[in-house]
Structure 1
Amino acid sequence: MSIGTCCFPGTNREAETFKEQGNAYYAKKDYNEAYNYYTKAIDMCPKNASYYGNRAATLMMLGRFREALGDAQQSVRLDDSFVRGHLREGKCHLSLGNAMAACRSFQRALELDHKNAQAQQEFKNANAVMEYEKIAETDFEKRDFRKVVFCMDRALEFAPACHRFKILKAECLAMLGRYPEAQSVASDILRMDSTNADALYVRGLCLYYEDCIEKAVQFFVQALRMAPDHEKACIACRNAKALKAKKEDGNKAFKEGNYKLA
């Protein structure tokens, strides 16, 4: 018996029916229903690589790349010669911003089918993302924040689900004084992941530069609660608290009539 088939012919036929129903919904772009039917097929026949591949494709269309990655990886574990499985695995890695892992998946697809045009193109895309990352890292150290934003925008065209790239872009937007844009990016991430310490830090950074010190401190403290070793949040929190204390001392001196000290 092949690893991609089921134990019982009746079960196999029923699973195929579910798969075909999933295909029909996928063709109609009803990805939620397609997902349900592919799941039924997998439940009936958990050793069939193509069923996992189909569900991975559906999850990708729904923007659920982490789950899709799990299914794509399972499909190639069951059948290492499954080219589309390797392509989907690579595409998920790339969408999530892991360009090096994506390259490995696309390379494997090319080993199996060296003329595969999609694998060739995606391999180029993954290498381009790695190059944008490298340039952005150098430019961030040079404090060329505009260039970093440009590089992250290009990288996000291939890696739309990468929180790391979005956070770096948001931080640089804050450094450039483009606070509403930076806040918007950070808020989008927090809607998906309310515990993201980097996004909380960026929210705090924007508020700090907009002179909303008390609110900024709240976000820095929250970031540190999620990630106690977050160095940037730690420094920013310390600076914000010092500034807050200085302002309070100044206000107190002013109220007491000590204008020189204020």
Structure 2
Amino acid sequence: MQSIIHPVNREHRFCAATGPRTWKRRRVLHPRCPLESHCLEEQTSNPNMTAREAESFKEQGNAYYAKKDYNEAYNYYTKAIDMCPKNASYYGNRAATLMMLGRFREALGDAQQSVRLDDSFVRFKNANAVIEYEKIAETDFEKRDFRKVVFCMDRALEFAPACHRFKILKAECLAMLGRYPEAQSVASDILRMDSTNADALYVRGLCLYYEDCIEKAVQFFVQALRMAPDHEKACVACRNAKALKAKKEDGNKAFKEGNYKLAYELYTEALGIDPNNIKTNAKLYCNRGTVNSKLRKLDDAIEDCTSAVKLDDTYIKAYLRRAQCYMDTEQYEEAVRDYEKVYQTEKTKEHKQLLKNAQMELKKSKRKDYYKILGVDKNASEDEIKKAYRKRALMHHPDRHSGASAEVQKEEEKKFKEVGEAFTILSDPKKKTRYDSGQDLDEEGMNMGDFDANNIFKAFFGGPGGFSFEASGPGNFFFQFG
């Protein structure tokens, strides 16, 4: 039986030895041949037509590349290479496409082939540099050197600006560095192109989580896990977010109920969940500081508030809480510093008044504390002030210490004078008011260095013949009027 020829299955293949249009036949298996197992197929080997078809495939690849459809571009460049495997530019184009797809090892192979065919394509050796940046970034991520990872990804993206994997790694590190708007922008760009990208959804959630928008963050983590149930990072972040939210809310509830001990324990447990969540931890430290202030553990409260502002130096509430603790512990310079920080940030009337009060207390603290000298409370009555003066004046009167060393006599004389000053100010309602308000007493025309403490003593005790201290036994004295 005669063989069946199938011209419809012609294939154009490049053959340097053939003419402009030559045909050759080869036997192929065909099911319609009952007596023969093979039939002949015509095949063309016109080199000009082959080159034109290859160029057509390349142009279609270029069109898809321009539209950023890198998968289709890759397919057409591959067809061009299949037809003309000796064309360096086709390998170069496919290498560039593979880089856009993040397939850098394959890109390096194509780039090397393009260079072997034509050394003018040496620029595609950059694929090797990208692979090195990727390796360095992986190592630095493990070391938590996120700034260096961002640097490496920026360099890699110069060669492969559409690589989602590099963009995601950069965005995650930006989030870890607290650069949330930049991280969100990168993730949002990816989600606009692919709304199901689990990595981008994870990064969006991570930014919200670190900005203490925990409830919204959980929604993104859950969505990421729907797209990729085995997404380990999203799973861990979702678990931490839910645990933080629960502990913080339980702590707040205990605080409102006045159970400060339980609130302290819950806030402490929450602080141990995720040390990377800076903003939430800053709030937890401030909350625990508030608990400590309620428990009158003021030093601990100051320490917690300090931890809060170290994590977030814009956290006004922590500065205010610490400033109040400084006021309560009479550390006025520190209180003024915190209130100044607050007022510079938020210039409200309330903050201005708090600063003014702290400055007044600081000014007052630098003067002699007449209440302390007399040993009375700031709310002492007139009688209490008189009794205190009587006791302290007799205790420090120079005559009582006439037998002591010169150093002791000098110290007691100083104290005797201070007791007189204190009584002069606190026994006069007008002067006492000015002193309590922090105003300068010298404005009253009173120079505290000029008065005579003995005259105050005499005026207080009275008696026409003066007074003297006489010994009534070893170490004992009594006061006698003349």
Judge same fold: TM > 0.5, yes or no: yes
* Residues 189-242 of structure 1: per-residue CA shift (max 9 Å, x gap): 111111111111111111111000000100111111111111111111000001
Structure 1 stretch displaced more, 144-153 or 247-256: 247-256
Q: Relative to 1, partners in 2 of residues 1:129 and 1:68: Cα closer, same or farther, differing over 3 Å?
A: closer
Paired residues of 2:201 and 2:221 also in contact (CA < 8 A): yes
> How far apart are the structure 1 equivalents of 2:131 and 2:102?
22
Deviation digits for residues 147-196 of structure 1 (CA, Å, limit 9, x no counterpart)? 10000000000011100000110111111111111111111111111111
Conserved? CA contact 1:56–1:68, under 8 Å: yes
Given the superposition, is the C-alpha separation of residues 34 and 221 from structure 1 closer, same or farther in structure 2, using an over 3 Å criterion? closer
How far residue 261 of structure 1 moved from its aligned partner, in angstroms, is 3.1
Q: 1:12 deviation in Å?
A: 12
Query: 1:81 Cα deviation (Å)?
Result: 17
Task: Number of aligned residue pairs: give it.
Answer: 214
Verify the 8 A CA contact 2:108 2:127 in the aligned structure 1. no
Query: 2:52, 2:215 → 1: CA distance?
Result: 64
1:67 CA displacement = 16
TM-score w.r.t. the length of structure 2 is: 0.32
| Inter-CA distance 32–192: structure 2 relative to 1 (3 Å threshold) | closer
Give the drift of 1:249: 1.7
* 1:251 positional shift: 3.4
Indicate conservation of the 8 Å contact 2:137/2:149, yes or no.
yes
Contact 2:175–2:206 (8 Å) recurs in 1:
yes
Once residues 48 and 195 of structure 1 are traced to their aligned partners in structure 2, the CA distance between those partners, rounded to angstroms, is: 38
Q: In 2 relative to 1, CA 188–37 (structure 1 residues): closer, same or farther, beyond 3 Å?
A: closer
What secondary structure is seen at the aligned counterpart in 2 of 1:260?
Answer: helix
1:244 deviates by 1.2
Distance 1:70 1:186, change over 3 A: farther
Task: Select the structure that is richer in strand.
Answer: 2
Change (3 A) 1:240 1:60: closer
* Range 134-143 or range 72-81, more displaced: 72-81
Distance 1:258 1:175, change over 3 A: same
How much does 1:38 deviate?
13
Distance 1:260 1:82, change over 3 A: closer
- Mean Cα deviation higher: 212-221 or 251-260: 251-260
Q: How far apart, in 1, do the equivalents of 2:68 and 2:246 lie? A: 57
State the 1:78 CA deviation.
18
**In the alignment, does 2:87 pair up with 1:48?**
yes
Moved over 6 A (4+): 11-83
- Alpha carbons of structure 1 residues 258 and 17: separation in structure 2 relative to 1, 3 Å: closer
Per the alignment, do residues 76 and 253 of structure 1 end up closer, same or farther by CA in structure 2, a change over 3 Å counting? same
Give distance in 2, aligned partners of 1:64 and 1:168: 16
**In structure 1, C-alpha distance between the alignment counterparts of 2:134 and 2:75, rounded to whole Å:** 37
- Per the alignment, do residues 234 and 80 of structure 1 end up closer, same or farther by CA in structure 2, a change over 3 Å counting? same
1:206 aligns with 2:207: yes
Greater helix proportion: 1
The match for 2:292 is none
Query: How far 1:246 moved relative to its partner?
Result: 1.4
The one of 35, 45, 53 aligned to 2:74: 35
Q: Distance in 1 between matches of 2:60 and 2:165?
A: 37
Instruction: Name 2:144's counterpart in structure 1.
Output: 143
Cα 1:23–1:159, aligned 2, differ >3 Å: closer, same or farther?
closer
Matched-pair contact (CA < 8 Å) for 2:100–2:160? no
How far 1:245 sits from its partner (Å)? 1.1
The SS at the match of 1:41 is: helix
Are the aligned partners of 1:220 and 1:234 in contact in 2 as well (CA < 8 Å)? yes
Change (3 A) 1:249 1:125: same
Q: Which one is further off, 11-20 or 172-181?
A: 11-20
Match of 2:262, SS? coil
Contact 1:207–1:216 under 8 Å retained in 2: yes
Counterpart position of 2:182: 181
Secondary structure at 2:120 match in 1? coil
Q: CA–CA distance in 1 between the matches of 2:216 and 2:196?
A: 17
Deviation at 1:123, TM superposition (A): 3.4
Change (3 A) 1:261 1:22: closer
Supply the distance in 2 between the matched residues of 1:257 and 1:167 (Cα, whole angstroms). Answer: 45
Over residues 103-131 of structure 1, what are the superposed CA-to-partner deviations in whole Å (9 max), with x where a residue is unaligned? xxxxxxxxxxxxxxxxxxx3320010011
Deviation of the 1:136 alpha carbon: 0.7
Tell me if structure 2 keeps the 8 A contact 1:170–1:183. Answer: yes
What's the offset of the Cα at 1:72? 13
**Structure 1 residue 250, shift from structure 2 partner:** 2.6
Question: For the residues of structure 1 that align with 2:76 and 2:146, how far apart are their CA atoms?
Answer: 47
Relative contact order: is structure 1 or structure 2 higher (C-alpha 8 Å, sep ≥ 6)? 1
Deviation, structure 1 residue 76: 16
For the structure 1 residues 197 and 66, does the alpha-carbon distance in structure 2 shift closer, same or farther, using more than 3 Å as the test?
farther
Higher alpha-carbon deviation: 218-227 or 33-42: 33-42
Structure 1 pair 185/32, CA: closer, same or farther in 2 (3 Å)? Answer: closer
Residues 60/251 of structure 1: CA separation in 2 closer, same or farther (3 Å cut): closer
CA-atom RMSD in angstroms: 6.1
Could you state the TM-score of these two structures normalised by the residue count of structure 1? 0.56
User: Any idea what SS the aligned residue of 1:195 has?
Assistant: coil
What is residue 87 of structure 1 aligned with on the other side?
none
8 Å CA contact retained: 1:145, 1:172 = yes
Bigger mean CA offset, 191-200 vs 28-37: 28-37
Distance of 1:236 and 1:22 partners within structure 2: 41
Partner SS for 1:81: helix
Q: In 2, are the aligned partners of 1:152 and 1:165 still within 8 Å (CA)?
A: yes
Contact 1:65–1:161 (CA under 8 A) maintained in structure 2? no
Task: Identify if the C-alpha distance between structure 1 residues 207 and 66 changes in structure 2 by more than 3 Å, giving closer, same or farther.
Answer: farther
